[in-house]
Amino acid sequence: MKKMLIVCSMAFFLAACGSNNSEKNQNATDEATATESSSNSENPPYDPNRGEGKFHDVKLDPHLNEAMAEKGEKIYDLKCASCHKLSDERLVGPGWKGVTERHKPEWIMNFMTNTDAMLDKDPKAQAMLEICMVRMPNQNLTDDDAREILEFMRENDGVKK
User: Interface with another protein by CB under 8 A: which residues?
Assistant: 77-79, 81-83, 85-87, 91-92, 133-135, 137-141
Which C-beta is closer to another protein: that of 23 or that of 89? 89
CB of 99 to another protein, least distance (A): 15
CB of 20 to another protein, least distance (A): 26
Question: How many angstroms separate the first and last alpha carbons of the chain?
Answer: 75
Which C-beta is closer to another protein: that of 54 or that of 63? 54
Cα–Cα distances in angstroms (integers) from residue 18 to residues 2, 4, 12, 22, 131, in the given order: 24, 21, 10, 6, 28
Cβ pair 155, 85 in contact under 8 A: no
CB of 150 to another protein, least distance (A): 18
Which C-beta is closer to another protein: that of 50 or that of 148? 148
Q: Which residues pair with 90 in a beta bridge?
A: 84
- In terms of Cβ atoms closer than 10 Å to its own Cβ (0-12, 13-18, 19+), residue 97 is middle
The candidate with the shortest Cα–Cα distance to 159, out of 76, 67, 64, is 64
Which C-beta is closer to another protein: that of 141 or that of 153? 141
CB of 132 to another protein, least distance (A): 9
